[in-house]
Amino acid sequence: MAIKRTLIATAMLSLGLFSAISHAKDNVDLMITDAMVLTMDQGKAVYNNGVVAIKGNKIVAVGDASLEKRYHASQVLDVDGDIVMPGLINTHTHVSMTVFRSLADDVPDRLHRYIFPLEAKLVSREMVRIGANLGNIEMLKGGVTTYADMYYFEDEVAKTVDKIGMRAILGETIIKFPVASAKNADAGIDYTLNFIEEYQNHPRITPAFAPHGPYTNTTETLQKVAKLSLEKNVPVMIHLAESDREEQVIAERANGMSPVEYMDSIGALNKNLVGAHMILIDDKDIELVKKSDMGVAHNMSANIKSAKGVSPALKMYDQEVRIGLGTDGPMSGNTLSTIDEFNQVAKVHKLVNKDRAAMPPIKVIDMATMGAARALHMEDKIGSLEVGKRADIIVIDTKAPNMVPVYNPYSALVYSANSANVRHSIVDGKILMQDRQILTVDEKQIVKEAIEFTQKVRETVIESGEVVQ
């Protein structure tokens, strides 16, 4: 009898222990609660009164409010019904050019007549650092958590990205004429190889090659870069099918081929390539792009501001090409946050297709998140709120006057929101901006330094905006 009572007591004790264990909460570092969660996963799941749990730099749970009972968080971010979504990904920019913003906006053939001469006078490590610091703040405050950059002295840009805590793909520009960081294309390649060696194992920074364009580099250079990129397993970023000048030069070089056909013919169209703009392309080009598995950066504001045309981005998206949104540089589209692209992307594609239903908001948001991640071949890490992915997350204020009411979150984001509506920005599980306050760098000091640098710019341009020769 005593043995029987002992067995019963042991069983009850075991059952109680099991029950206690089963109700124990898992520890996490950060939990976002009371959120309208737009996951942007394959099924486009949405959770009202949703929760996202984060441990380290990864998402460990996404779902409804019941998750609060399963996790104990060191920090809880109650967002009071605001939109929680993946961080935006800017697939193409030249961040350090913030210090040149608003110069000669309407000059015809501005790249060759104005920008190249201006850069020849002013590009330096100091300029790149100051401009990148300023652009990083602008992007982070606008909800961009990852960006792809092409410019000079990208190792300086990398230092600023590392400090603020963002994620970036940074491509050192390679071009056939002398520039600040290299005397020719071969020297640019050597510079890039050193940059790759320094940053190839960084958790948030991906070094890359960035040949400026097919018409500003030789066939041999483009082939060398393509070969090295495959060997080093790093991206290649390039301006492609962007301008009439490019089309003409390539047609003369390659027996009437389009820039895309030419890149394919020389073996430079591959999975590592990200082509910016892609305006002057036809159905045959799109077939080559899809077959190559390359990415495309769609920069609506810059394209229409320069009057170069509207890329057939909607057609590419519908044909499952890897395409995401970009801004181009701050001398081109003038802003760096892709949230400010949403409205134009949706509306201009409706206009050119003469179809009010074309480019619905959910496609625009997809191109800003998962589409952009796919364009950069980073969809396994970022672009959606899913278990196992990096915790790159933003919170959008739904109580701001321009956002009230929110009947459809995708429509509200595309047609109502602006970059000032971003409340919080999280990268790699760390809150980098909370309630519009940057936590990792001194915003006031960075803006002050940028303003001081503008005096050097003013001394280099005359009242008409022309560069002093």
**Domain residues of the chain, as ranges?**
87-391
Where residue 359 falls (left for φ over 0; alpha for ψ -120 to 50; beta otherwise) is: left
| Cα 333 from Cα 267, distance rounded (Å) | 31
Closest CA to 61 of 80, 19, 24, 33: 33
> Tokens in use for 66?
């019941």
Q: What is the enclosing helix (H) or strand (E) of 291?
A: helix 283-292
Tell me, what's the pLDDT at 4?
Answer: 46
Q: Could you read off the pLDDT of 187-217 as tens digits, one per residue?
A: 999 999 999 999 999 999 999 999 999 999 9
Tell me, what's the pLDDT at 468?
Answer: 55
pLDDT tens string, the chain, 469 residues long: the values are 444 444 444 444 444 444 444 458 899 999 999 999 999 999 999 999 999 999 999 999 999 999 999 999 999 999 999 999 999 999 999 999 999 898 877 777 777 777 888 888 889 999 999 999 999 999 999 999 999 999 999 999 999 999 999 999 999 999 999 998 999 999 999 999 999 999 999 999 999 999 999 999 999 999 999 999 999 999 999 999 999 999 999 999 999 999 999 999 999 999 999 999 999 999 999 999 999 999 999 999 999 988 899 999 999 999 999 999 999 999 888 899 999 999 999 999 999 999 999 999 999 999 999 999 999 999 999 999 999 999 999 999 999 999 999 999 999 999 999 999 999 999 999 999 999 999 999 999 999 999 999 998 888 775 445 655 5
Check if the beta carbon of residue 390 is closer than 8 Å to that of residue 382.
yes
Check if the beta carbon of residue 385 is closer than 8 Å to that of residue 62.
yes
User: Which residues are bridge partners to 431 per DSSP?
Assistant: 426
Which fold, 87-391? TIM Barrel (3.20.20)
Kindly give, in sequence order, each residue whose CB lies less than 8 Å from that of residue 419, ignoring residues fewer than 6 positions away. 138, 141, 142, 143, 335, 337, 339, 340
Reported pTM: 0.93
Tell me, what's the pLDDT at 58?
Answer: 98
Kindly give, in sequence order, each residue whose CB lies less than 8 Å from that of residue 139, ignoring residues fewer than 6 positions away. 90, 95, 147, 166, 336, 337
Closest CA to 214 of 188, 241, 236: 241
Q: Could you read off the pLDDT of 299-356 as tens digits, one per residue?
A: 999 999 888 999 999 999 999 999 999 999 998 888 999 999 999 999 999 999 999 9
